[in-house]
Structure 1
Amino acid sequence: MAERRLFAGPAVRRLRRDAAMTQAAMAEALDISPSYLNLIENGQRPLTATVMVKLAERFDFDVASLGGEEVPGGQAGLRRRLADPRFADLGIGAQEVEEWLQAAPTTAAAFARLFDAAPEQTSETQAEPAEVAAVRRAIEQWRNHFADLDARAEELADELRLAGGDLYGTIAERLRTRHQLGIRVLPSDVMPDRLRWLDWHARQLMLNELLRPASRTFQAAATLGQMEAKDQIDALVAGAEFAETAAAKLFERHLIQYFAAALMMPYGRFLRACDATGYDLLLLQRRFGAGFEQVAHRLTTLQRVGARGLPFFMLRIDRAGQVSKRYAGASQSPLVDGDGRCPLWAIHEAFSRPGEVVADLVELEDGTRWFTQSRTVAAPGSTGTNAPARFAVCVGVDAKVAAPLVAARGIDLMRQPATPIGLGCRRCTRSGCVQRSMPPIGRALRFREGERGVSAFDFAGD
């Protein structure tokens, strides 16, 4: 059998130093030569399956951690951060990034952590709160796929299907019989500022009447998940080792909602439906009784080993372009980063075409292409208000793998003209853009007597 090749020199070096061993002593313990261990530690030789087994046996070491990414997003994530205009004059290439990750992944992770926590040097964005950034990093490290939660949700979904009836009804019956909890739908004026309220004293789950059927099922499923997936959720939260209680609570809420979506759209059945329908978003909504946003989020989670879906990202913005949800999943798309959005991207057009799925083929400055689909959604519980909250939810995937999408049929994804967009004006160095509202970071403004370009800003380097 061919042995697995894995370059993990820094991890082996740290393990040896933690054990207070010389290279000669560790080499003897692993039945290899000191010179071979030196090559492994310096990234010049891979770890074979044989050596990994010996590491596990003789050092009580979890070899699965050797394949983990210390930098959220891995090499692609690090390159994305270094593509910031603040580093444009350094000319950092892909080879340098790869060598940095191989030689010193811990320092690369430290850089990524500082970069993610620091505010961009621009008036159009503000740094994410520390607890939000910490939760985002935790989700990125898992690529928004939590196998234990998916397995438990799929098992429970099968049990509920055997019970018959609609999912909401079977969840309500399970809450009643197993947890002695009833469900009451209350008028909005009784619950003006709540969608869900679990009253343990009265043994009642109260739901706001403004919740649509899909949202009502989702809230009931979330309540069931709090109790029946508690062990899995608690283990994931504890493993994240957050410094702030608020971050732990935010992560817990994400996992509860993840479970609810997984219960409504069980992994195996949902992935088969995606393949069979060409990822038809509206058809998937109807088939699983879910909302557009719920389906969009679920698409970012399909990374089960041996049964992976397409690597989608998801973004939710308001009319001002502010981001309230973002999941990169396995896509590693730079479109989810930062708070600046390009006004040329059709995600904004969705607001003028409510209820319609707006598709767009976009191309970034580095030549990468993304196929995106955006649609407006109303905030849960906003129905009937004078000024209902509206968001645009976008899902996207690398154009190289977007051919199976029914929405992409008839489109030459790699040769057809695409919308040229940037990552917000302060991070975009495209010249001559009539939509530009600010010059890019790190570029000096240039003025020429007697001239006026199509853009309000002319800058050096274009």
Structure 2
Amino acid sequence: MYWRNRLAAHAMTGSRIRERRLDQGMRQADVADAAGISASYLNLIEHNKRRIGGKLLQSLARALNADPASLSEGAEPAVLNGMRAAAARTSQPIETDRAEDLATRFPGWAGLIAAQEARVDTLEAEVRVLRDRMTHDPALAGALHNVITAVTSIRATAGILANDDNIDADWQRRFHVNIHDDSRRLAVESEALVAYLEPPTEAASSREHLTGFEEVEAFLLRENKLLDWVEAHPNAAPETLLRDYDAPALSREGREVLLQYLVRFSKDVRLMPRATFVPAAVAAHGDPSTLAAQFDADLPAVLRRLGGLPADVGLPPMGLAIADQTGALTYLKTVPGFAPSRFTAGCPLWPLYAALTQPMRPIKSEVVLPGQAGARFMCYAIAVPKTHADFSAAPVLETTMLVVSDPAPGLQEPIKAGVSCRVCPRSGCAARREPSAIEVKS
């Protein structure tokens, strides 16, 4: 779908020229004269009966005061993806086939829609994390338990004092001391609970609520220059790099996770250098099997390499998920629509988990999320032993899944998956573990 959309974008260059001219209230003859062509030839161009490029495209762009790329390629793919994701959130009929028209004619409004969609997606992810932690975080459960224990103790002691008039002075004094001590303990526990629930104001305080894996993922998003440096120096020792690199925002656990990530990343870079891998990936349309054969690499390494490429290399948006043998995520790179939770069990229908039941077997499946216009992905997954073969112990598996946005429709029926059972509206799902909190059915 991504590649078909790119070809379609170029085929609509004439339509975009016409819309730009009409938006500016310019006559066809005036634009043609400014570009040095006849009005009849411009008319053929505007009706997509003549393909243009190079000098003529530059001339028309100058005449229309437009960016040549906006005429030849249309809106940025990221903006269009954001607009389509925003449309998928509503049950109202949306003319999604006119998204590029809107983005071309009103790029400012289109950018605003895409930015708001990204903000909504970020806020929803934060809400999911907070909800999951409210349900499963042992620190929060312990704080609540301490508060309830202190309240119960105070209530019991106060009840004795209020209902028994025959308590001697010595016992009254002891009960008063107990109430005083429990009240102080309640105050301390309450302050700790409030501090825990308050949003962090500094990076250091926010680390307290992140796992080492989450720290590293957030760190790599901020410090992409670190990975660029590794790309340029793949033979440098990751231990030395991490020691010399200023990473004060990471905890000890985060630094250990980052070191493990850099060791593997360096190995992947040495096997598949970006300078040769990116052109090969674009030529292969991102097909992992083709790239694995071309670079003599295993599939998990290719999936990791594809999932870690920048967004501007000419490939569709790609997410990446890596999980251990229990299904717990150890690395996650999200794309719009794909943001699984770390704190609740994920949907078992995703190929990421299905691969664990079929070690060493590559799985390619299309996945569609709930909703009238649910996001669609092509997923490539495989589970392989993480440890070397050992006759004395069973292998420890690791599963890797590449998630490609907006694929071309496949020949097989797509998998109807969700994020997790609690927030999935699908009814009649054989994999459901618990009732959904969403009433709407799909």
TM-score, length of structure 1 as denominator length: 0.48
Greater per-residue helix proportion: 2
TM-score by length of 2: 0.50
